[in-house]
Chain A
Amino acid sequence: MGLDHLDLENQTQQNLNEETKPYLTALIGWSLPAIEACDKLDKPFVVVGPPEFEGFAEKNDIKFIGWNFDQLNEGSDQLFKKLKALGAEVAVPLYEECVEWAGALNSRFRNEPRVFNRSLLLRDKGMMKRKAQIAGIKVGVFEEAHSKEDVRRFLKRVNEALLKVEGDKNDPIHVKPLDKAGSVGHRAIENPEEIEALTDADFPLLMESHLDGQEFSCEAFIHKGKIQFLNITEYVKLGYSNFVPASPGLEDKRPLIRNAIQQLVDAFEIEYGVIHPEYFITPDGTLHFGEVAARVPGGHIFDLIERAYGFSAYQAQILCSDPNTTEEELRNFFPEDNGQADGYAGCLMVHPHVNYIQELEVPEELENHPYFEKHDMFEPSQGKVAERIGFGNHYGTIFLYGEDSETMRELLEKYEKYDFYK
């Protein structure tokens, strides 16, 4: 067979399978950075997102299936069929509510029913804790509550166990919905009176004892059940500020953390994708598992990872979610996995401390600081501050980058108290 013949044959092949070859990656959820990442990887893709994005997708030639993730019924199977028909073989979850959808799809794509069950583990914080505990991972005391009475009893028992007597200040317990992202719906309860604020809609919920120690998160990119790259994100103040990679003090514990995460991966039988677990570490180096998610983390952590290590975390997630990605591709993609970066990338999420905003003031001192990179705040055209849900809708983010983790920490702490909005 001559060379030209070969070419011709290739071409015919391509024409024949234009829709199906090479296979499509299905991005579950709507995220422009993820779409862009996939586009830049030259991987053909289809987006499964809320129907309201259809117009935008059409205008920009983005292959799109509108889908309502809240609606679970016998029609759910349709999504798999549609995707299969388009030639999709991998599903990547972009946000919390999509995790089990991606799990369900991947278990069909791979013919492994258990993939779906594993994804459900990640969507129920009660089951998640139990599973971790069964696997021998250290967790705090936790329980599921179905009524206010359950919460009262839990608060009392936890504080009794701490040998508190009448009049002592209670240790708080934490309650959170079983299936919401990060800090959405999270509240700390110290006094029985605060339990009254809960409504029927808040149940069932997960109750946990308060864990002392430094809180941090990890972003582990997993392929074939192995950690391909591990980032440790240091929280300066939860929901307000964090930076990547962690400071030397925490990075020293990297081998310990790495082991803990591999233990988690094994216990949860996670094979592909990104996980975002949160831990507490005590000064003596004991790790307590908080919770884990399998989606894009909040707090601009993916942006920080890109700034610090120079690779796109969105691309990393897509590559690791795909069983067909080769070992070589992964080695070429990731830098050496040792927590070493050229500098620290941090961000401060700004929440107004007032109910009505008159003006925005970013101090010159910050703008001119060598660590200052950018912020995205503008004077709002109308001043009323929206109510906060989780830590999601902050009013802007300040991005910093520099060589010293201590300077980074000081800056983040200093400006966390600053009133940018007056």
Chain B
Amino acid sequence: MSSELTDKKVDRFTHALNELDKAAAFAKSMYQTDVYQEASRLMETMEGMETLFHFANRFEEAGVFANGPWEDASKLQPPLVAGSLKTKGLASIIEILSDLRMLSIAKGNYDHPSMGSEEAAEFLNEVLALNLDLLFPGDSEEARIEQEENAEQLDRSQRFFQFLFTRISSDALTGTLREEIERLMAQRPIMVKRVISMIQMAKKLLNNSEAGETEHPALEKYIKAIEGPSPLGENTSNLNDYRKKLKDLSEEELKQEAEVLSNSMQDTGLVAPQHAVLVRFLSRNKPEMLSDALSLSDKGKANLEEHFDLVKQLIKVGIYPATGQAVYGLARMLDRGVFSYSPVIPGLRRLIELDIKPEVRKDLLNAYQNRQGLTANTILLSGVISVLGQPLGVGQGLNPTCQSARGISLWAQHAPGYLLELIPRAARDGDIDLKFEGTPIHSKDLKGGLAPELHKELDPVSLVLVPHLDRIYNEMMTRVALRGEDGHRWVNPAFYGNWVQTGFSNVIEPITGTVTDYPGYVRLFYATHHPEYNDDYELIYPNPVGIFITNVHGKLLGYHAVSILRIAQVPSGDYRIYFYNPNNDSSQNWGQDIEPTVSGNGELEGESSLPFHEFVSRLYAFHYNPYEQGDAFAVEDEIVEEIEKLAKESWGREYTWVNI
């Protein structure tokens, strides 16, 4: 494009912006359209983006965002940016203008009354980190279709991201990305697809920028973890070559290789494809080195020794490069000593030759794009290994099926034999049955459920079980719907099993929908759960509880199922609640400075935690043992009042509060 034309566009934009600037507050909307129009013309080129950025410090005061969703910069949320950019038309134009304003704040060009430059930079970092696919367009089918249908918009947002990328310190960006990866992997999820694609993005990012020195090593670690952390693997693109090379290694070298790979796995929770090759090789040729490759604890080593034949068989059937992530599950499973539950061994054996129903087989096979000749049994077995090794790594994916995920996780922890009963029933018979108040409920007789269209990005066990569990849970809730009390009281013990206590308390009065006697509710929870008030009864099995999910502003978004795993005192003397969150992305900001952490506060792999009172402020229902209560009256009024305040000023705004 000739610069004459560009000049004309700049003039026209300047004119439109000036007119908007001059307009009275009530008249802004009459002038905004022209600004958006001229801005969209400038967005057609990189030069134009530059020009727009030059003016961005004036946008907000001129009224570019007046009376619209982008008005208040401090209320904007990075995860929503992608949605606006992908919307046709106006929204994507204003979104870009708003992000240019952020950049202006971040660069110190614009002194914003309610947002600091660091905050703005953080916002943009997160936006970039969440939208790396726009920065490095993939060649996936989905991206391709989107590109064709939406060419103009995608061009515009891609161009914007290219521009933003040149203006943002790539150090900060890679930092954000690293944090995001660390945060997700701290929970040791079974499904690592999303993390792997983020790591691949990070790699492109490092290749595309000279900077990022400080973040390099941290990200390199993850890149190596998925591509092959050992020098031997690095120079071998082909896994078959790698296998051949293994044969030539000396004992010493082999041991070293095993250590490098297992250290990387321990460190990141990610398994390189080479690792699976190594484990298969060792189990056949050097069984004594297997424990090095899995970096087992003493307990794990003992378990391996005791059950070596079975482990060898599991490796042979279940561990392939494509299912390599199960190596981590295998190691954790040995460390946990799952084999000591007597039904586990025959239960696992049964899976190897299980006659899987065709439709289940199809789902399992479809879950792997690059199957490399895997059978459905291999996939299912690898999934079972993962679940038994990482019970807290079970996630609900993109489905509203937190209850089912919570069940699988609970059984994997405390009833692996039972879980190993359910899986073949579902995979082979297409039916499972659970008893509810004496009557069996068969999933094959039920329709619907919470997720009639299950999103299939799930671990193999969830893929097989969730459709059944979801329908049964839903059926149980339907059966108690008219009892005038929260149905979870009866459904949870029936669904999850006898591990769930029968005492139950709910913060919402089910008939009137009001919050009644909140202080009493809080005191009961303290008296049954807080070590200082509950006569030292320890929590033995996970307690399935309901929580209010709130956003960063404390606004109620919905209800969610998590499990309290344990309650413990941290060195500072405070008590924290450690819990399992089936959404596998637990460290979200719940508003009022309540931010669950996944590491750094004594969390074990897969746990999230919050200070005791903060967790209680979001709790809406819990089970307790009526025979194990301490002193409710002993709970200090200040504690109860503080929690009540947090509750009232967040989710409580949506409810009527009744004092009795």
Seen from chain A, the residues whose Cβ lies within 8 Å of a Cβ on chain B are 32-33, 35-36, 39, 56-57, 60, 62, 359-360, 368, 374-376, 378-381
CB distance from B503 to the nearest CB of A (A): 49
| B556 on the A face (CB < 8 A) | no
Tell me which residues across on chain A come within 8 A of B40, comparing CB atoms: 378
For the complex, what is the distance from the CA of A39 to the CA of B29, rounded to whole Å? 16
Pull 14 A–B residue pairs with CB atoms less than 8 Å apart, ordered by A: A32-B26, A33-B30, A36-B23, A36-B24, A57-B26, A62-B26, A374-B37, A374-B38, A375-B37, A376-B33, A378-B90, A378-B93, A379-B89, A379-B90
CB atoms of B93 and A374 under 8 A apart = no
Nearest chain-A residue to B33 (Cβ)? A376
- Selected from A56, A360, A375, the residue in CB contact (under 8 A) with B26 is A56
CB distance from B27 to the nearest CB of A (A): 4
CB atoms of A60 and B33 under 8 A apart = no
CB atoms of B29 and A378 under 8 A apart = no
| B91 on the A face (CB < 8 A) | yes
CB distance from A399 to the nearest CB of B (A): 10
For the complex, what is the distance from the CA of A51 to the CA of B38, rounded to whole Å? 34
CB atoms of B89 and A36 under 8 A apart = no
- Selected from A36, A62, A360, A368, the residue in CB contact (under 8 A) with B30 is A36
Tell me which residues across on chain B come within 8 A of A374, comparing CB atoms: 12, 34, 37-38
| B80 on the A face (CB < 8 A) | no
CB distance from A114 to the nearest CB of B (A): 36
Nearest chain-B residue to A361 (Cβ)? B152
For the complex, what is the distance from the CA of A256 to the CA of B89, rounded to whole Å? 48
CB atoms of B88 and A381 under 8 A apart = yes
| B87 on the A face (CB < 8 A) | yes
Q: Given the known A-B contacts A374-B34, A374-B37, A378-B36, are A35 and B27 also in contact in the complex, defined by CB atoms under 8 Å? A: yes
Which 4 pairs between the two chains have the least Cβ-Cβ distance?
A: A379-B89, A60-B26, A378-B89, A379-B88
CB distance from A31 to the nearest CB of B (A): 10
- Selected from A56, A57, A62, A380, the residue in CB contact (under 8 A) with B89 is A380
Q: Contact flags (1/0) for B19-45 with A, using CB distance below 8 Å?
A: 000011111011001101110100000
Identify 19 new A-B residue pairs, CB closer than 8 A, beyond the known A374-B37, A379-B90. Answer: A32-B27, A32-B29, A33-B27, A33-B30, A35-B27, A36-B23, A39-B24, A39-B27, A60-B24, A60-B25, A60-B26, A368-B5, A374-B34, A374-B38, A378-B40, A378-B89, A379-B89, A381-B88, A381-B91
Tell me which residues across on chain A come within 8 A of B36, comparing CB atoms: 378
CB distance from B480 to the nearest CB of A (A): 40
CB distance from B152 to the nearest CB of A (A): 8
Tell me which residues across on chain A come within 8 A of B88, comparing CB atoms: 379-381
CB distance from B75 to the nearest CB of A (A): 18
Seen from chain B, the residues whose Cβ lies within 8 Å of a Cβ on chain A are 5, 12, 23-27, 29-30, 33-34, 36-38, 40, 87-91, 93, 152-153
CB distance from A29 to the nearest CB of B (A): 15
Nearest chain-A residue to B30 (Cβ)? A32
Q: Given the known A-B contacts A36-B24, A60-B25, are A381 and B90 also in contact in the complex, defined by CB atoms under 8 Å? A: yes
Interface-centre pick from B26, B38, B90 (highest chain A CB count, 10 A): B26
Tell me which residues across on chain B come within 8 A of A57, comparing CB atoms: 26
CB atoms of A36 and B27 under 8 A apart = yes
CB atoms of B26 and A35 under 8 A apart = yes
CB distance from A54 to the nearest CB of B (A): 13
- Selected from B23, B34, B37, B87, the residue in CB contact (under 8 A) with A381 is B87
For the complex, what is the distance from the CA of A97 to the CA of B87, rounded to whole Å? 37
Tell me which residues across on chain B come within 8 A of A380, comparing CB atoms: 88-89
CB distance from B144 to the nearest CB of A (A): 18
Nearest chain-B residue to A35 (Cβ)? B26
Interface-centre pick from B12, B23, B88 (highest chain A CB count, 10 A): B88
CB distance from B275 to the nearest CB of A (A): 47
Tell me which residues across on chain B come within 8 A of A39, comparing CB atoms: 24, 27
CB distance from B18 to the nearest CB of A (A): 15
Tell me which residues across on chain A come within 8 A of B91, comparing CB atoms: 381
Nearest chain-B residue to A36 (Cβ)? B27
For the complex, what is the distance from the CA of A376 to the CA of B35, rounded to whole Å? 10
Tell me which residues across on chain B come within 8 A of A368, comparing CB atoms: 5
Tell me which residues across on chain A come within 8 A of B25, comparing CB atoms: 60
Tell me which residues across on chain A come within 8 A of B90, comparing CB atoms: 378-379, 381
For the complex, what is the distance from the CA of A304 to the CA of B384, rounded to whole Å? 73
Nearest chain-B residue to A56 (Cβ)? B26
CB distance from A361 to the nearest CB of B (A): 9
Nearest chain-B residue to A37 (Cβ)? B27
For the complex, what is the distance from the CA of A36 to the CA of B33, rounded to whole Å? 17
CB atoms of B89 and A381 under 8 A apart = yes
Tell me which residues across on chain B come within 8 A of A379, comparing CB atoms: 88-90, 152-153
Nearest chain-B residue to A357 (Cβ)? B88
Nearest chain-B residue to A367 (Cβ)? B41
Interface-centre pick from B27, B93, B153 (highest chain A CB count, 10 A): B27
For the complex, what is the distance from the CA of A368 to the CA of B93, rounded to whole Å? 21
CB distance from B291 to the nearest CB of A (A): 59
For the complex, what is the distance from the CA of A57 to the CA of B24, rounded to whole Å? 13
For the complex, what is the distance from the CA of A60 to the CA of B34, rounded to whole Å? 22
Tell me which residues across on chain B come within 8 A of A375, comparing CB atoms: 37
CB distance from A47 to the nearest CB of B (A): 10
For the complex, what is the distance from the CA of A376 to the CA of B29, rounded to whole Å? 12
For the complex, what is the distance from the CA of A36 to the CA of B30, rounded to whole Å? 10
CB distance from B31 to the nearest CB of A (A): 10
For the complex, what is the distance from the CA of A56 to the CA of B67, rounded to whole Å? 10
Tell me which residues across on chain A come within 8 A of B30, comparing CB atoms: 32-33, 36
For the complex, what is the distance from the CA of A362 to the CA of B469, rounded to whole Å? 54
CB distance from A379 to the nearest CB of B (A): 4
